[in-house]
Amino acid sequence: MLSDSEKQQLEQQGYLILPGFLTPAQVDEFNARIEELFAEEGDGAGGEFKSEPGARRLANVVNKGEIFEKVIETPKVLECMEAVLGADFKLSSLNIRSANPHNKTAQPLHVDSGALPDVHGDSVCNSVWMLDDFTEFNGALRIVPGSHRGGRAPEPGAKPEGEMLVTGTAGTVVIMNSHMWHGGSENKTDRQRRAMHVYYTRGDKPQQQYQKRLVRPEVQARLSPLGRKLLALDDPRNDKLSATGSGASGFMK
């Protein structure tokens, strides 16, 4: 399903935009469940990972509804992940980030999990699912295309040449090599800007959230074989990695 030009875009620029990936009805379904979770979790929302000034967060969302269990298996997204990470990869985390209205502080440019490419190549790749329109005013994703090829993370406060905003309508998915410099921009509007981050990592790296511990037994029991593989539930390497500390540092946009 992934064309040669799409693969080239991912390799050279570090990102790929897939417009119209969700229908309006699907966007509404995700947002309805997400708002239920924000109401249920209250001040503890996002506690499995982190809180962030200027944004609402949910973490470990694969554990919080069948709609999220299914999304981790999306074929074209998985093909993109394989193009970046190789055949051996797994889900690192599934989080929600909602940029608050009137938040005039941009998220710093960063690489996810603080990770840099190593001798085996790239190790982190994210998919950003727009659940509201991303505009130049409401906290759209900002990126530095090609920066994943530089082998270094941005300095604090960096304002590099070539930075751009990724805008689009709700239902768009952005595939992003997470070694590429990126961050959220300011939300200057009076409405929230929601996105779902379905984040994958190479099989020899720790998960951001250790799914075997966090996902309820009844959820694990109903997962498909592919779902179990993607959560690395039966991979002994993952247990060893978690024993040394699976929580990774660094921002997620």
- The predicted-structure confidence for 173-225, as pLDDT tens digits, reads as follows 999 999 999 999 999 999 999 999 999 999 999 999 999 999 999 999 999 99
List pLDDT tens digits, range 41-72: 999 999 988 889 899 999 999 999 999 999 99
DSSP H or E run through 40: helix 24-41
Residue 96's nearest CA partner among 136, 134, 45 is 45
User: How far is Cα 61 from Cα 67, in angstroms, rounded to an integer?
Assistant: 10
Residue 251 has pLDDT above 80, yes or no: no
Residue 184's nearest CA partner among 104, 122, 124 is 104
Q: In the numeric block, which tokens belong to residue 119?
A: 């001798």
pLDDT at 50: 85
pLDDT at 157: 86
User: How far is Cα 182 from Cα 25, in angstroms, rounded to an integer?
Assistant: 29
Which residues are CB-contacts of 13 (< 8 A; sequence separation ≥ 6)? 145, 146
Residue 125 has pLDDT above 70, yes or no: yes
- Read off the pLDDT band of 1 (50, 70, 90): confident
Query: How many other C-beta atoms are found inside a 10 Å radius of the C-beta of residue 109?
Result: 25
User: How far is Cα 145 from Cα 51, in angstroms, rounded to an integer?
Assistant: 27
Residue 253 has pLDDT above 90, yes or no: no
The per-residue pLDDT of the chain, averaged, comes to 94
pTM of this structure: 0.94
DSSP 8-class letter at 155: P
Set out the domains of the chain in order of their start, with CATH numbers. 4-243 (2.60.120.620)
pLDDT at 196: 98
User: How far is Cα 202 from Cα 92, in angstroms, rounded to an integer?
Assistant: 9
